[in-house]
Amino acid sequence: MMTIIDAILKKVKSKSDAAEVFHLRNETTGCSWAADKLKLAETKETSGVAVRVIKDGKIGFFASNKVDDADKIADIACELVNYGSEFAGELPSEYKPVDADFFHESTAHAGAERLIEAGNGMMEKAKSAFHDAIYEGKLDRSIVHCTIANSHGTRADFRKTLFGGFLWGSVTREGDVLNVFEYGNYNYLDNQPESFADSTVQKLKNAVNVVKLHAGEYPCILTPNGMDVFGVLETALNARAVLKDLSPFKDKVGEKIFDEKVILVDDRLRDKMPGSQPVDDEGVTSQKTVLVENGILKSFIHDLHTAAKMNVAPTGNGERASLNSGPKAGFTTFAINPGTKTLDEMISGIKKGVLIDNVMGAHQASAFSGDYSVNIGLGYVIEDGKIIGRFKDGMLAGNVFRMLKEQILEIGSEPKFVGILFPPILFDRMTISTTG
């Protein structure tokens, strides 16, 4: 029996130089809590197909959630190629299976009942440990089934599981509002809800005491949650930015751009990560790509188009933001090699400094210059190797590239995935401004 994928591919092949069909089916169960109580539990199923048609150096794209009319989908995709953008790449002609786990049976079988049990336990644990806070939370589990087939003979079919969630704690005392949170994304469900509770409670306990901090330069630990400004790296190390002259590293491959401690990779095969899968969203076999090694720039991330334009091999980074958008070069598991010290060990070595766990306004940071100035959502004061409380109304200013080149004191040993897989990092001479 011919599938919708085969039917579409058969028709578009005769009207194009090359073609690709991407089919996605997703089942998601989500549970949410508000004011310490279960608010919602639901399961949703979605599916759809996206088609790319290549002809005369142009690419057309069409996506639909209605997958019952192969002829209509194929005809629209073939028509849109006439208005398409340039495409310099060539679709892959083979798929090499990889030996890695992306699908976890126990997670797949974790339905609403299991999530409710885990979430209720998370809420109860947090409430019993810090009763004064009001908590909100969410847990989601997804089963993804993806098929990618193209006219060059590549066909990849795989399943993966996903789990993610957060816990938010809020305390109001005498006009002072304190909000803290913990979150994470993975491809498996284990005891993460319990760890969300433990971490959120610890942050609340550290933050209830408000202390003064004078403006100045301090040694500063950024936790993974507080590293939003590092998002500029994902732009600067993306080949699409290079082709648009938006990357400061455009002509610096082979040059030292950061401290020799810095090793940056993107690893689509990394164990337990939500972005891991056997192929990228263009059917290119997944791999680990070294971007910066001992401070030296080695590579950028590429999709098929950028790789062809720059005459290099694709890195397996074709990413679809959704079914309705075509793949573009994007990061999956962007990581820095961890060091040897735990967060507690780094804190214990600081005479006077700060720890920052949340910043606001990082989207305004410049990916070309690396400059940023952000509000500190949650920052702690460290004295004599201990956190003594939180400071309010602070701002952090600096330059991401300078931080990684000149200001690293220690890279922590405990990485956490929050969109990037980084451990806490201790930086020297970070500029903090405060009011009051």
Summarised one tens digit per residue, pLDDT across range 228-273 is: 999 999 999 999 999 999 999 999 999 999 999 999 999 999 999 9
**351: which 2 tokens?**
């005479």
* CA–CA–CA angle 349, 352, 354 (5° rounding): 90
**188: which 2 tokens?**
């498996």
For the chain, the three-class secondary structure string (H helix, E strand, C coil) is: CCCHHHHHHHHHHCCCCEEEEEEEEEEEEEEEEECCEEEEEEEEEEEEEEEEEEECCEEEEEEECCCCCHHHHHHHHHHHHHHCEECCCCCCCCCCCCCCCCCCHHHHCCCHHHHHHHHHHHHHHHHHHCCCCEEEEEEEEEEEEEEEEECCCCEEEEEEEEEEEEEEEEEEECCEEEEEEEEEEECCCCCHHHHHHHHHHHHHHHHCCECCCCCEEEEEEECHHHCHHHHHHHHHCEHHHHHCCCCCCCCCCCCECCCCCCCEEEECCCCCCCCCCCECCCCCECCEEEEEECCEECCCECCHHHHHHCCCCCCCCEECCCCCCCCEECCCCEEECCCCECHHHHHHCCCEEEEEEEEECHHHCCCCCCEEEEEEEEEEEEECCEEEEEECCEEEEEEHHHHHHHCEEEEECCCEECCCEECCEEEEEEEEEECC
User: What type of residue is 340?
Assistant: T
**284: which 2 tokens?**
């290119």
**Cα 221 off chain centre by:** 21
Average pLDDT, rounded, for the chain: 96
- Look at residue 363 in the predicted model and tell me its pLDDT: 87
Q: How many residues does the chain have?
A: 436
Tokens 């994470």 label which residue? 184
Tokens 């606001």 label which residue? 360
Give dist(CA 254, CA 257) in Å, integer.
Answer: 9
**135: which 2 tokens?**
């908590």
Nearest to residue 329, comparing CAs of 398, 237, 394? Answer: 237
- Look at residue 1 in the predicted model and tell me its pLDDT: 43
pTM: 0.94
Cβ–Cβ < 8 Å for 50, 63? yes
**157: which 2 tokens?**
């079919």
Per-residue pLDDT at 199 exceeds 80: yes
The per-residue pLDDT for range 105-161, each reduced to its tens digit, is 999 999 999 999 999 999 999 999 999 999 999 999 999 999 999 999 999 999 999
Q: What is the mean pLDDT of residues 208-237?
A: 96
Give dist(CA 220, CA 397) in Å, integer.
Answer: 12
Give dist(CA 317, CA 77) in Å, integer.
Answer: 23
Domain assignments of the chain as residue spans, ordered by start: 4-205, 209-436
Cβ–Cβ < 8 Å for 219, 428? yes
Give dist(CA 239, CA 103) in Å, integer.
Answer: 30
Give dist(CA 125, CA 122) in Å, integer.
Answer: 5
Please list, residue by residue across 275-308, b when 16 or more beta carbons sit within 10 angstroms of its beta carbon and e when fewer do. Answer: bbbbbbbbbbbbbebebbeebbbebbbbbbbbbb
Looking at per-residue pLDDT, the higher value among 78 and 97 belongs to: 78
Per-residue pLDDT at 29 exceeds 50: yes
Per-residue pLDDT band for 436 (boundaries 50, 70, 90) equals low
Give dist(CA 341, CA 263) in Å, integer.
Answer: 17
CATH number for the region 4-205 comes to: 3.30.2290.10
Q: What is the percentage of the chain residues whose pLDDT exceeds 70?
A: 99
- Look at residue 2 in the predicted model and tell me its pLDDT: 63
Cβ–Cβ < 8 Å for 160, 277? yes
Per-residue pLDDT band for 99 (boundaries 50, 70, 90) equals confident
**171: which 2 tokens?**
């305390």
β-pairing, 18-34 vs 134-150, is antiparallel
